[in-house]
Structure 1
Amino acid sequence: MRFQVLTFVIIGWLLIGQSNAQTFHAKVDSLIRLAEKSPDKRKVLLYDTLSRMFWGRSADSSLLFAKQSMQYAEKTKDLYSLSVAYNSLGNAYIEVMEPNLAIENYKISKGYREKLNDKVGIANSIHNMSLAYMDLNMFSEALSLLKEGVSLCQEENDLTTEAFLLMSIANVYRKLNDSNNALENVIKATNIYLHLNNTQGLARTYTIMGHLHRDLKNFSLGLEYYKRAYSLFLQIDNEKMLASAVNNLGIMYDELKDYPKALEYFSHFLDFAIKNNDKETISSAYNNIGFVKAKMKNYNEALESYFKSIEISKEIGNISSEMNTYNNIAWIYFNSNRIKEAEKYATLALSFIPEVQNLSYESETYEIMGKIRYSQGIYQEACKYTSKFMELKDSLFNVNKNEKFAEMQVRFETAQKEKEIELLKKNEEIQSLTILRQRNLIFLWIAIFILLVAVIGTIYYNLLSKKKVNALLSEKNEELKEANVKLLKSEENLKELNTAKDKFFSIIAHDLKNPFNTLLGISELLSANVHSYTKEEIQERSQIIHDSTLSLYKLLDNLLNWSRSQLDSIVYQPELFPLLPEVNQEIKLIETFSDRKNVKISVRIADHIMVFADKHVIGIVLRNLINNAVKFSHIDGKVMVSADEKGDMVEVAVTDNGVGMDREELDKLFKLDQSFTTKGTANETGTGLGLILCKEFIEKNGGKIWVSSTKEKGSTFFFTLRTDRWA
């Protein structure tokens, strides 16, 4: 009885992330139509995206789209497009199990990325090549390549990429069962991510630490690291990695024999699989739930889960999974002394042996059949099956022994290569020192000659120089005066900036105090008069508390985002995405607010408009601008969000027909030192911080923001975004 590849069952749907097959095909069709209408450079990116979508679904389709990406990249002759297309082909060849071809394409992609000085791209190429080398069991080559990448990152002081590659090195050492080196490298990566305050990177390193401690049978320590990873993935709301963390926790609780907890986490993992409609993962999850329930002696519930697993395995044609589950069912019936049923399912498992060719499953089938025949008194057949079981057991032992020997051999070769590299470095250093010594000798004779010429020439030169010295001194005095003026100006600017920040924080303190005063006053009245107030009075005061809390929350959210932008702790991750869905999503978030004022929000954005920016940051900008438009609109007002392509930029406009602003008010916008906190048409409060935040975020995404307004007629806030990476 065994788990069904428990650690890796999530791979298929983690790569796709679609809610169901219908949605997947609809998205594929939509991207194909978009690609047909797009310029060649964008076609390269879109066909690469389509190729990635078929990872784990159809290797041939993935390769087909990667070749289409290459076709348009060759037409453009653009270096970035070619680097993307060759990388896409490498990924597709991994899917069709051609790692040698993958390596060839990854190398070409790396070459283009080196020409572009794309450090992140180079690191990704190195990582991808290392995975391909691992597929070929060429672990020494993978390690050499990754260590070369780490050295490059250290030269460039690129900490984020260095940590990423250190994790890859740790995974290679883990594959070689070299836990000490694996742990050493993952600890280095962890320290870097702690320094960078990178939550997602930290969660990944904790996951690897959990794997390593599980390999070493340190289950309690492994569980602690899995819990840390789970907690961090919850913070960043990454559903794909959260599913992986849930699965890991289920494995560890099973190892600790805490079966109720293991069952709880495997059930959560099943929920993720069902949500994403990944049949293979659903089948495996049911098998694993059945496995745990069997350990808990809940045989009927275990059988129920096993039969669900078999039903889905048949549907997707996964005969290996089907055979494993038949073995598990046969064990339950045998342990329940229901020999006929056990014989039925063991016989079904037996019929899969020629097709599946899995020694471990085959061995288990012979073992259970031997026990069934012995209990039936058919001793000759029992002996036959038991003999086959023992032969396969010996074979598996030899295979494991050979694998251990191969691992030791690779570790030895890796160590030897590292020593050879170190020796080569020392030889190069000796050779460099010899050359340097010869050069120094040549330079010394040249210096002596130059010195003699200089001594002779200096006397003559000094006579000519005296005339120039006075003019030079005068010029230097002027430069010093100019430098003093600039220094005084800088000091004044610094004082103005400090004054502006002091004023800004006093505004924030004042605007924090008002909602708290309201909350304290109204809640005190409610507490004192709750029995004497009518339902309507309680509802009215509750609404005031809600509005004050909401105002406070928006202020704190904007303040937090502004402070993170000032500290450069926001990691900008631009990507190519359609603008319309993002706008619609932000409108939904403030529907309650707009409905209260009966403000109609309309959108005029074409489906095909794409922007290259950080999606999360642009969401904050849209939310602030649309919220402001509603805030300053009258009851039954209108707000329009529109976008137009203008060359290589997209111009977005948020328009309202509200109170508008005069020139004096417009001049105060986007400035930290201006106290501009006009109330909305329904007395909504604000600080102006949201617009300051919008300006910083738009400029960091390569765009501009401005406003046009007429008093009592309304306002329009404009901002621009790039349409692709190179815009």
Structure 2
Amino acid sequence: MKKRISFTLLIVFYSSLFFSQQNQINLLKEQLSNTKITDSLKIKLYGDLGWYYGNIDLDSSYFYTKKGLDLALKTNNQKGIGQSFNDIGIYYYRTSKYDSALAYYNKSLNIRTLLKDSVGIAGLFSKIGITHQQTATLDSALYYNNKSIRIYEKLGLKRYVIINQNNIANIYQNLNQFDKALEIHFKVLTERKKTKKPYDLSESYINIGNVYQKQNNYLKSKEYYNSAIEIAEKNNLIRILSIVYNNYGNIFKEEGNLNEALKFYQKAYIIRKKLNDSYGLASVTGNLGVLYYEAAKFKIAEPYIFESLHLAKKFNAKELELSAYKTLTTLKAYLKQPDSTVYYQKKYDDLNNIIRNEKITEQIVDIETKYQTEKKEKEIAQQKEHILTQELKIKNRNLYAILLASALIILGILSFGFYKKNQIKRKQLQKEIDLKDALAT
């Protein structure tokens, strides 16, 4: 009975969170009903509707975003096309269709590059980096986040520099470089405390809690998760709540408190189901499957694990897929199903090799890129040296010509001076001769 009441209260609570989003949506629809607004404004309003629906109804989010794109294409509004491609990329990211997200981000990037939209380009580099992070291609994630930071630094947009630094800290966390991750996260948190933006603050608290969780420092982890929950509940940040509830469940599971873990996983599951957050659902269903497996409730565990596997495969979330194969291998072994055990163990090994090979390939590409960059830089340096040598030769020739001309001018002046002096002397001598002749007569 107590559990039923808590779930009822939870649903009522989330209904109030969605209500505030609906108010904003109603205001946007009211503006759209004005027949006198321009096509450019309509495109923007469609995009805004797509954004707000993204938190409560992803089908409606896509519907309005697509309407914005169609109108932008019809009116050849390049800025609107670029924004709509970006927004559709966000939709695919939210639904964990990462390949499609990257495709639309790159379409938007092409448009924004033509428009020389530096802010938009930096934003896309950041989104592309985060998407690569979700698919465990961490080298690419780091590369694009750094590209984004360089642009934001040039533009003096400090808040967005901090957002990307936060992303980089998460990458270091995924690489198990926890001290480096915490160092960056605390710097980011210090800056975010100055701006006091609820989403940013709650995100930082979650990220710091995540690092402490990976270090098995559950007391510190809970401390930061509690700070995130307090801010998120106060400001209706339901997506943030789904993350922290899921992570809180992980802590209780590790501590062996399966009842508390189940409570928090179910809270996360309710939100993610409502948001149609496929990646989040793949994560939390996987966690529920492991939880029920550890509680020896195998019949309940198996459907959750298969749901997690299905979603992970559908949206190319390799790390979650790998985790599902690992759990299924141990589950089938415990159930004494040798054929299935061997099958899922092979699936695990094959995928693990693919992930490892992809990382090796990326490292090779990275080395090749660095080599080509160094080679190009060397060629540029040689060209600069050649140009400087030529410029020096030209300068020396010019200097020689100037000196020669100056010498000739000076020589000419001196010659003219001697000539004039001799001419004057001749005239004086002639006058003296004429004077003598005159006196003689």
Deviation at 1:350, TM superposition (A): 2.6
2:216 alignment partner, SS class: coil
Q: Does 1:342 align with 2:303?
A: no
Q: Deviations over 1:232-290 (max 9, x none)?
A: 31222122211211111210221222223323433443455555656554444332221
Distance in 2 (CA, whole Å) between partners of 1:145 and 1:218 is 17
1:257–1:317 CA distance, 2 compared to 1 (3 A)? same
CA distance in 2, matches of 1:133, 1:384: 40
CA contact (8 A) 1:332 1:342 kept: no
Alpha carbons 1:31, 1:50 under 8 Å: kept? no
Q: Find the aligned partners of 2:261 and 2:232 in 1 and give their Cα distance.
A: 19
Question: Does structure 2 retain, via aligned residues, the 8 Å contact 1:326–1:346?
Answer: no
TM-score, normalised on structure 1? Answer: 0.42
**Superposition pairs for residues 263-412 of structure 1, below 5 Å?**
263-274=222-233, 277=236, 280-318=239-277, 321-336=280-295, 339=296, 341-350=297-306, 353-354=309-310, 356-357=312-313, 360-365=319-324, 367-369=326-328, 371-372=330-331, 375=334, 379=336, 381=337, 383-412=338-367
Partner of residue 50, structure 2: 54
**Kept in 1: contact 2:245–2:265 (CA 8 A):** yes
How far did 1:214 drift? 3.1
Change beyond 3 A, Cα 1:347–1:206? closer
CA distance, structure 2, for counterparts of residue 160 and residue 356 of structure 1: 36
Structure possessing the higher relative contact order (Cα contacts under 8 Å, 6 or more residues apart): 2
For 1:424 and 1:374, locate their aligned partners in 2 and report how far apart those are by CA, in whole Å.
Answer: 60
What is the number of equivalent residue pairs in this alignment?
A: 371
Q: Determine if contact 1:90/1:105 at 8 Å carries over to the other structure.
A: no
1:637-681 per-residue CA deviation (whole Å, 9 max, x = no partner) reads xxxxxxxxxxxxxxxxxxxxxxxxxxxxxxxxxxxxxxxxxxxxx
1:26 match: 26
**Does residue 161 of the first structure (1) align with residue 116 of the second (2)?**
no
Instruction: Give runs of aligned pairs for residues 49-448 of structure 1, distance below 5 A.
Output: 51=47, 54-55=50-51, 58-59=61-62, 61-62=64-65, 64-65=67-68, 68=71, 84-85=79-80, 87-88=82-83, 91-92=86-87, 94-95=89-90, 97-110=103-116, 121-122=117-118, 124=119, 127-128=122-123, 130=125, 160-161=153-154, 200=159, 207=166, 210-211=169-170, 214-215=173-174, 217-220=176-179, 222-274=181-233, 277=236, 280-318=239-277, 321-336=280-295, 339=296, 341-350=297-306, 353-354=309-310, 356-357=312-313, 360-365=319-324, 367-369=326-328, 371-372=330-331, 375=334, 379=336, 381=337, 383-433=338-388, 435-437=390-392, 439-440=394-395, 443=398, 447=402
Helix, strand or coil at the partner of 2:194:
helix
Distance 1:85-1:310 versus aligned 2 partners, 3 A rule = closer
Equivalent pair of 1:92/1:102 in contact (CA under 8 Å): no
Secondary structure of the structure 1 residue equivalent to 2:366: helix
Name stretches of at least 5 consecutive residues in structure 2 with no aligned partner: 1-16, 91-100, 415-441
Change (3 A) 1:92 1:453: farther
Q: Deviations over 1:353-411 (max 9, x none)?
A: 45642555455445545555555xx52x2x12321232122123202321221221122
* Contact 2:165 2:188 survives alignment (8 Å): yes
Structure number with larger C-alpha Rg: 2
Q: What amino acid does structure 1 have at the position aligned with 2:348?
A: K
Report Cα offsets for 1:471-521 as digits up to 9, x if no partner.
xxxxxxxxxxxxxxxxxxxxxxxxxxxxxxxxxxxxxxxxxxxxxxxxxxx
CA distances 1:43-65 after superposition (whole Å, capped 9, x unpaired) = 64774475366355535633543
Higher strand share: 1
8 Å contact 2:289–2:302 — kept in the other structure?
yes
Determine if contact 2:198/2:232 at 8 Å carries over to the other structure.
no
**Distance (Å, rounded) in 1 between the aligned partners of 2:147 and 2:271:** 43
Deviation at 1:308, TM superposition (A): 2.7
Superposed displacement of residue 412, structure 1: 0.8
Partner of 1:522: none
Structure 2 length as normaliser, TM-score?
0.65
SS at match of 1:54: helix
Root mean square deviation, CA, Å:
4.6
Q: How far is the alpha carbon of 1:320 from its aligned partner?
A: 5.2
| Residue identity in the other structure for 1:62 | T
Given residue 399 of structure 1, which amino acid in structure 2 is its aligned partner?
Answer: I
Query: What is residue 439 of structure 2 aligned with on the other side?
Result: none
Question: Which AA in structure 2 matches 1:406?
Answer: T
Preserved CA contact (<8 Å) 1:293 1:299: yes
Return the letter of the residue paired with 1:427: Q
Q: In structure 2, the residue corresponding to 1:98 is in which secondary structure?
A: helix
Give the C-alpha shift of residue 447 in structure 1: 4.4
Following superposition, the deviation at residue 105 of structure 1 comes to 0.5
Q: Which SS does the other structure have where 1:288 is aligned?
A: helix
Kindly provide the CA deviation profile for residues 164-204 of structure 1, in whole angstroms up to 9, marking residues without a partner as x.
Answer: 6xxxxxxxxxxxxxxxxxxxxxxxxxxxxxxxxx6x57855
Taking the aligned partners of 1:148 and 1:236, their CA distance within structure 2 comes to 21
Contact 2:242/2:268 (CA < 8 Å) preserved in 1?
A: yes
Contact 1:287/1:305 (<8 A) preserved: yes
Matching residue's letter, 1:109: L
Unpaired segments ≥5 residues, structure 1:
1-16, 75-81, 111-120, 154-158, 165-197, 460-727
Per-residue CA distance 1:308-356 (angstroms, 9 max, x = gap): 33333443444554454344334333433xx3x3322313433664564
